[in-house]
Amino acid sequence: MRLTTKGRYAVTAMLDLALHSHQGPTSLADISKRQEISLSYLEQLFAKLRKHELVSSVRGPGGGYKLSRESESIFIAEIIDAVNETIDATNCHGAGNCHKGDVCLTHHLWSDLSEQIHQFLSGISLADLVERNDIKAVADRQDAQERAQHEQVLAVIN
Amino acid sequence: MRLTTKGRYAVTAMLDLALHSHQGPTSLADISKRQEISLSYLEQLFAKLRKHELVSSVRGPGGGYKLSRESESIFIAEIIDAVNETIDATNCHGAGNCHKGDVCLTHHLWSDLSEQIHQFLSGISLADLVERNDIKAVADRQDAQERAQHEQVLAVIN
DNA sequence: TATATATCCGACTATTTTACTCAGATATTA
DNA sequence: TAATATCTGAGTAAAATAGTCGGATATATA
Ligand code: FES
Ligand code: FES
């Protein structure tokens, strides 16, 4: 089991997509700016998300990515799994053979833990997150910041 | 959040201690043999477990380690925490400041997940594990293997 | 049709962490 | 005093993380 920046970035980016899904495809450059994630790194992550058919892409100007399903049926567990951060907490990856080919002393504990985490994360969809008030607040703040920044850029140009 | 061999080893070793607690202090050499964990690595892990007052040591021949509390009041979460494998799944370690000093889009999700995992792992004591039938079975098998090996060594000597 | 915008793709890299090993000091029992 | 253990610190190979970089390809628009 591991959950690092990679998995967190993937979920953050997917949530950003869900939040801006009404305005056509979202470019990685936009997500990069809003969420402060390196563009090149996002490209790597989205290659994996695309392979797992969680997003689809539109190339060229005005293009970007969009969710390949409705946000109601994309679950957090899938996203984390897609970028290779397994939710499995066992050493044997479920095989039950990590102590001389046999089940080790703590296998059942890790197995139960994995089940617990999996149930939790596969019970939460992107739509669920979009609807949460605490997350709505953060999204609103980020959008306001983005608009303010945009206006400043325009002011500098003129 | 990460759970790797380090944390699994720590829990396995502590459970081994709990299982053999009736027969005085247990040496790391014994745990090393039974659980197939490098002795030097165990020494490192037990230095941390000792600092966190989960075990106490007896030096010299016949010495070893014993649990510093009854197994009923040592919880899995404490053990994992003691060897520096934090259960916290947030990037900000709870501070809520990983996006320009502010709360990021997914903070609340990781916060909830951490709570979930923590509740699960801090609700399980070493005594709980010792009592589980699936774990008893593994422990019995390991003890039988150990006795068989011991007899073989004696046979070779004679 | 040129240009700008975007995704795509592969290779490379610095840093960190993991999972160890090794050498030796120290304490205790017999 | 010899054997058995815990203690301590330093070092290290391999893997994973979190990126960077250079360039190819597709497409909308002027
Ligand atoms: S974790 Fe599955 S057998 Fe050890
Ligand atoms: S994870 Fe806590 S603010 Fe981002």
Range of the domain at B56: 5-85+125-157
B101 touches strand D (CB under 7 A): no
**A120 within domain boundaries:** no
Best B15, B105, B132 residue to mutate vs chain A (most A CBs within 10 Å) = B105
Nearest residue to C20 via alpha carbon and C1': B41
CB of A113 sitting under 6 A from ligand 1? no
**B97 within domain boundaries:** no
Q: Is the pLDDT of residue B90 over 60?
A: yes
Domain count, chain A: 1
Q: How far is the CA of A148 from the centre of ligand 1 (A)?
A: 53
Determine the pLDDT at residue A14.
Answer: 97
Q: What is the mean pLDDT of residues B67-83?
A: 95
Determine the pLDDT at residue B1.
Answer: 74
**B100 within domain boundaries:** no
Q: Which nucleotide is nearest to B25 (CA to C1')?
A: D5
Determine the pLDDT at residue B74.
Answer: 97
**A12 within domain boundaries:** yes
Q: Is the pLDDT of residue B150 over 80?
A: no
The whole model's pTM is what? 0.93
**B118 within domain boundaries:** no
**A116 within domain boundaries:** no
**B99 within domain boundaries:** no
Chain A, 50 to 79: residues with Cβ < 8 Å from chain B are 76
pLDDT tens readout for residues A53-105: 999 999 999 999 999 999 999 999 999 999 877 889 999 999 999 898 899 99
**A56 within domain boundaries:** yes
Q: Is the pLDDT of residue B29 over 80?
A: yes
CATH of the domain at A78: 1.10.10.10
Q: Is the pLDDT of residue B132 over 70?
A: yes
CA atoms of B99 and A12, how far apart (whole Å): 11
